[in-house]
Amino acid sequence: MAEELSELLRKRREKLEEFKKAGLDPYPYKYNRTHTSAEILSEFEKIGGEEDSPNEVSLAGRIIAKRGHGKAFFMQIVDGWGKLQIYAKLDILGKEKYELFEKLDMGDFIGVKGHVFRTKTKELTIRVSDWTLLSKSLHPLPEKWHGLQDKELRYRERYVDLMVNAETKEVFLKRIKIVKAIRNFLEDKGFLEVETPILNVLQGGAAAKPFKSFHDALDMPLFLRIAPELYLKRLLVGGFEKIFEMGRVFRNEGISYKHNPEYTMLEVYEAYADYNDIMKLTEAMVLSAIKIVSPELKLEFKGEIIDFSPPWKKIPLLEALRQYGGIDIEGKSEEEIRSIAKGKGIEGIEKIGIGKIINVLYDKLVEPNLRQPTFIIDYPLETSPLAKKKRGNPKLVERFELIIAGMELANAFSELNDPMDQRERLKKQAELKAAGDIEAESMDEDFLKALEYGMPPAGGLGVGIDRLVMLLTNSPSIRDVLFFPHMRPHDNN
RNA sequence: GCGCCGCUAGCUCAAUUGGCAGAGCAGGACACUCUUAAUGUCAAGGUUGAAGGUUCGAUUCCUUCGCGGCGCACCA
């Protein structure tokens, strides 16, 4: 193995040995720092050109730049809060400590102690009186000017990407704030955060292909959840009136700029509310997150300006087909709609039902053209087995999706709570499943039993958190907002 | 799953028509006590993603495979 290491890796291992020989522990257990980089910058802001800080500080972090000058040395240290420059001098450290200091590599963690002063170029800097090795780095860092550019490496070795590309870290800090803003918004409104099973006996709550797993002791197959919906509704039955869950769901489907096999979904349920109430809630909640990154409610996404100023457009699906697709299917027979779809070049629709055809028409003709925030409302009954029929039109359901930049951000309905109706709809789903539709819902008798006990009228909402973060951070791919997006493994291990 | 593009030193990138594979940064040696993409001098660093083929000669042309990116399909 040792012979196969490149020059650079070998050199670093040699240095590790040199440090050990000099009596340094390359991996000590702890370090007492008095300040973070940000604390030093704010606390010693007023220090002038000629003076040193009255007290010594200590700082810990990673070396990200080295500038040697013979008998003096500058380095940049980065910690969790920012960067700070340090300055070491042979006179102060003494020959032995200074020569070891010179041997430090980019990427090594050190702790330094010293007074804070301001350099000729007005930069706050620690004058190092003592230093400690905290962790020896054995790999070279990427180029200091361009950083790590290769997308594959950035996703695979995210730790390096985070180390050297400040913009990457920014995106994830924003993600954390966005998630927090949404939690705060819901908690302020009296919603309680709950947790439900991820290992499911049945597949349900969405139209999607699940991942399969297996429980050895129980000797039974399990599915990773595709949505928490049916468990959250059981909680409505149990008496929780305002609840939400933010968590990972898993879908065994293709990967694209807006799809990852596991992603973070927010689901919200409110008793005694309908989809109109949920629409208002959704708008207010998303706006509370947008304010984190853009108080003026306008932002750029992939070169396009998205204006989030409320109120957002609200268009019935059939109306959207007229406006964006140039087709009018209102009151048309199934035959006529099929021929319209064929006329638009939609393939493979002979076997699917009329509701699905309308969905396909919508997906092809409308959704890509919806760039500004828009609620599409009132969907065909057939494709929404968990939503209540629309008041005054039983062919439709009370459902909306929030579309921004051609992406579905949210999906919500007036939740179906009629156990007889729900049983009929799940029966149809079970038939589809038996006929080979792997995305169809399962017949969930326990869920139906819960509904039979009585579930209050309620509105429910699902939000794709990753996609929201994409929009708010101008990230072109879902992989850019996931610390560790799914990647095929490489051969070499 | 299909199509197009990419893969060259640790990193960022060059390489003319198929003719000795190069630079910057990082790393090494030397010099340098306020630099900040520090600077100067010198030396080193490569199975060009993998395997095969065509050719006197392949980073370059062809085939297969791997990984990635983008688009399409599927989906949220």
Angle at the Cα of A348 (from A343 to A353), degrees rounded to 5? 90
Q: What is the pTM of this model?
A: 0.93
Mean pLDDT of A463-475: 95
Give A300's contacts (C-beta < 8 A, 6+ positions apart).
A306, A474
Angle at the Cα of A148 (from A126 to A6), degrees rounded to 5? 90
Compute the radius of gyration of chain A from its Cα atoms. Answer: 29
A30 CA to B36 C1' in angstroms comes to 30
A490 CA to B8 C1' in angstroms comes to 20
User: What integer best gives the mean pLDDT of chain A?
Assistant: 92
Residue A50: per-residue pLDDT: 74
Q: How far apart are CA A388 and CA A401, in angstroms?
A: 15
Q: Which nucleotide's C1' atom has the smallest distance to the CA of A485?
A: B68
| Distance spanning both ends of chain A, measured CA to CA | 15
A491 CA to B67 C1' in angstroms comes to 9
A228-264 tens-digit pLDDT? 999 999 999 999 999 999 999 999 988 889 999 999 9
The confidence band for A326, taking pLDDT boundaries of 50, 70 and 90, is confident
Q: Which nucleotide's C1' atom has the smallest distance to the CA of A253?
A: B75
The answer to the question of whether A401 is labelled as a binding residue is yes
Give A21's contacts (C-beta < 8 A, 6+ positions apart).
none
Which residue is nearest nucleotide B10, judged by alpha carbon to C1' distance?
A140
Q: Exposed/middle/buried for A133, CB within 10 Å: 0-12, 13-18, 19+? A: buried
A123 CA to B24 C1' in angstroms comes to 28
A168 CA to B44 C1' in angstroms comes to 34
Which residue is nearest nucleotide B73, judged by alpha carbon to C1' distance?
A254
Q: Which nucleotide's C1' atom has the smallest distance to the CA of A155?
A: B68
Residue A490: per-residue pLDDT: 73
Q: Which nucleotide's C1' atom has the smallest distance to the CA of A478?
A: B76
Residue A303: per-residue pLDDT: 86
- The answer to whether A355 touches A382, Cβ cutoff 8 Å, is yes
The answer to the question of whether A347 is labelled as a binding residue is no
Which residue is nearest nucleotide B28, judged by alpha carbon to C1' distance?
A11
Q: How far is CA A212 from CA A199, A203, A455, in A?
A: 9, 10, 30
CATH numbers and ranges of domains, chain A: 2-141 (2.40.50.140), 163-312+372-481 (3.30.930.10)
Q: Which nucleotide's C1' atom has the smallest distance to the CA of A140?
A: B10
Least confidently predicted of A95-99, A109-113, A144-148: A144-148
A164 CA to B6 C1' in angstroms comes to 24
Q: How far is CA A319 from CA A342, A376, A389, in A?
A: 20, 9, 18
A6 CA to B47 C1' in angstroms comes to 14
Residue A217: per-residue pLDDT: 96
Q: Which nucleotide's C1' atom has the smallest distance to the CA of A462?
A: B76
| Chain B positions with any atom < 7 A from a protein CB | 1, 6, 9-13, 24-28, 31-39, 44-45, 66-76
The confidence band for A491, taking pLDDT boundaries of 50, 70 and 90, is low
Residue A351: per-residue pLDDT: 67
Which residue is nearest nucleotide B1, judged by alpha carbon to C1' distance?
A254
Phi, psi (degrees; rounded to nearest 5) at A413: -145, 165
A169-197 tens-digit pLDDT? 999 999 999 999 999 999 999 999 999 99
Q: Dig out the tokens for A113 from the structure.
A: 């102690």
- Torsion sign (Cα): A153, A489, A210, A484: negative
Give A455's contacts (C-beta < 8 A, 6+ positions apart).
A233, A236, A237, A415, A417
Which residue is nearest nucleotide B9, judged by alpha carbon to C1' distance?
A6
Q: How far is CA A325 from CA A156, A157, A321, A400, A407, in A?
A: 41, 43, 5, 18, 17
A402 CA to B71 C1' in angstroms comes to 25
A485 CA to B53 C1' in angstroms comes to 38
Q: Cα torsion at A399, A402, A408, A409 (round to 10°)?
A: -110
Q: How far is CA A117 from CA A40, A84, A128, in A?
A: 11, 12, 11
A102-118 tens-digit pLDDT? 999 999 999 999 999 99
Q: Which nucleotide's C1' atom has the smallest distance to the CA of A156?
A: B68
